[in-house]
Amino acid sequence: MKINTIILDIGNVLADFCWEKFFRSFDISEETFEKLAKATVLDTSWDEFDKGIMSENEILQSFITKAPELETLIRKIFSNINGTIEVYDYTVPWIRELKSMGYKVLILSNFSEKCYRECGNKMDFVKEADGAVISYLEKMIKPNKEIYQLIIERYQLVPENCVFIDDRPVNVEGAKNSGMQGIVFKNREDAVIELHKLGVGI
């Protein structure tokens, strides 16, 4: 086994998915925050948001249905969700470093069209990679096996020569079930150590 391809998630790996901070910036009580979170980010409908199979209005209505008393707040917050993403300072240098060492660097992420669009030039780091599979464009999400097979086929990868890095264990397990190596991301320093164990960067 020789790793030649590094596949990276976006949220909490290359960019901070800081939805809690964003929600609280609207100066709401803790009780309201919890209701809002359960109706949106923590609800299963968020997966449909990332999958891109429902319109933005349908998703918004789904959120509102879960907490109708918060309709005005939900509409206000979701009028622009740029603030839910902040790119880490290390992201572009890390991608460039891995590429300079000869590794193919790909991105595999669950990400909604609305968030991708409204984050604007924050997402420019994606262009630094050698390719990307983003859930809303493919109408499929991790950890479903189809999305791992898609990236394997699209970029003609040999699974055992790939390592996938994601902050969610269930997504890493999905990659392993597709024949890849996997690392559960805690922080960049820890990920570099785990990559070294696989012979990456040595």
pLDDT at 202: 61
Q: Rounded to whole angstroms, what are the CA distances from 51 to 43, 143, 157, 201?
A: 14, 12, 23, 34
Number of H helices, E strands in the chain: 11, 7
Question: What SS3 state is found at 87?
Answer: strand
Q: What secondary structure does DSSP assign to 138-188, as a single string? A: HT--TTSHHHHHHHHHHTT--GGGEEEEES-HHHHHHHHHTT-EEEE-S-H
User: What pTM was computed for the model?
Assistant: 0.95
Largest CA-CA distance found in the chain, in angstroms, rounded? 56
Report, as an integer, the average pLDDT of 99-109: 97
Using one digit for the tens of pLDDT, what is the confidence trace for 135-153?
999 999 999 999 999 999 9
pLDDT at 193: 96
Q: Rounded to whole angstroms, what are the CA distances from 121 to 86, 127, 197?
A: 11, 11, 34
